């Protein structure tokens, strides 16, 4: 017979992506048996993040302030606007150190099967932002899966209709790979996108 508090903890941990019943139970037992200080630290961090972190008013990434640090940085190139699906995607691009423009985070992607349409991912806000008279190029950096490709296509058509230059992240053979081990779709895209 399980304790309701323990069951609640297990269910709460199951909300994390990729965490099933057994993994959640293992984590709950570990925290309660071996790392109560870590459990309290986790609880405080979650409480603080949920109560203090919202979305940037301009790009929609996570931020404590109305504008995130990137949007507030006047040295960033406002003529370039990179569109990503999530704050995690934005963070990944920032870690490369190769992009110095502005961002727009969709907070999702088109997914008709999940009931997510253009309104749900902020298409109108993106169109308003991209049509501000400053943005010259919109770089579509959505994921290279079916939903990401569909999202890039729809966004690209809408943005081009407003006279904006629209580009897409390149895709192709990864650095250091051997052609015989690369999937055929990647090789085909590399040929089409060659420069």
pLDDT tens-digit profile of 15-67? 999 999 999 999 999 999 999 999 999 999 999 999 999 999 999 999 999 99
Q: Where is average pLDDT lowest: 20-24, 76-80, 169-173?
A: 169-173
- Architecture, CATH, for domain 75-168: 3-Layer(aba) Sandwich (3.40)
Number of Cβ within a 10 Å radius of residue 182: 14
Q: Scan for tokens 């904006």, then name that residue.
A: 164
Q: Where is average pLDDT lowest: 8-12, 19-23, 49-53, 177-181?
A: 177-181
Mean of pLDDT values over 108-117: 79
Q: Where in the chain is the domain with CATH 3.40.1360.10?
A: 75-168
* Contact present, 158 and 127 (Cβ < 8 Å): yes
pLDDT at 1 over 60: no
54-55 and 62-63 strand pairing: antiparallel
Q: Where in the chain is the domain with CATH 1.10.8.420?
A: 4-52
Mean of the per-residue pLDDT values for the chain?
Answer: 91
Is residue 151 classed exposed, middle or buried when 0-12, 13-18 and 19+ CB atoms within 10 A define those classes?
Answer: buried
Q: Percent of the chain at pLDDT above 90?
A: 71
CA distance 79 to 82: 10
Q: What is the CATH code for 4-52?
A: 1.10.8.420
């Amino acid at each position: 017979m399980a304790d309701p508090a323990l069951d609640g903890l297990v269910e709460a941990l199951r909300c994390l992506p990729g965490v099933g019943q057994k993994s959640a139970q293992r984590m709950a037992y570990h925290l309660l048996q071996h790392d109560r200080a870590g459990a309290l630290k986790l609880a405080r961090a979650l409480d603080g993040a949920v109560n203090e972190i919202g979305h940037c008013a301009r790009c929609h990434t996570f931020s404590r302030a109305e504008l995130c640090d990137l949007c507030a940085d006047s040295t960033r190139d406002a003529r370039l606007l990179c569109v990503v699906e999530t704050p995690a995607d934005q963070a990944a691009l920032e870690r490369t150190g190769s992009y110095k423009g502005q961002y727009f985070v969709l907070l999702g992607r088109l997914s008709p099967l999940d009931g997510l349409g253009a309104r749900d991912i902020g298409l109108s806000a993106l169109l308003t932002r991209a049509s501000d008279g400053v943005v010259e190029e919109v770089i579509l950096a959505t994921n290279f899966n079916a939903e990401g490709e569909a999202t890039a296509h729809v966004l690209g058509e809408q943005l081009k209709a407003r006279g904006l230059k629209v580009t897409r992240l390149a895709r192709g053979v990864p650095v250091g790979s051997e052609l015989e081990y690369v999937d055929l779709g990647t090789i085909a895209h590399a040929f089409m996108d060659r420069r």
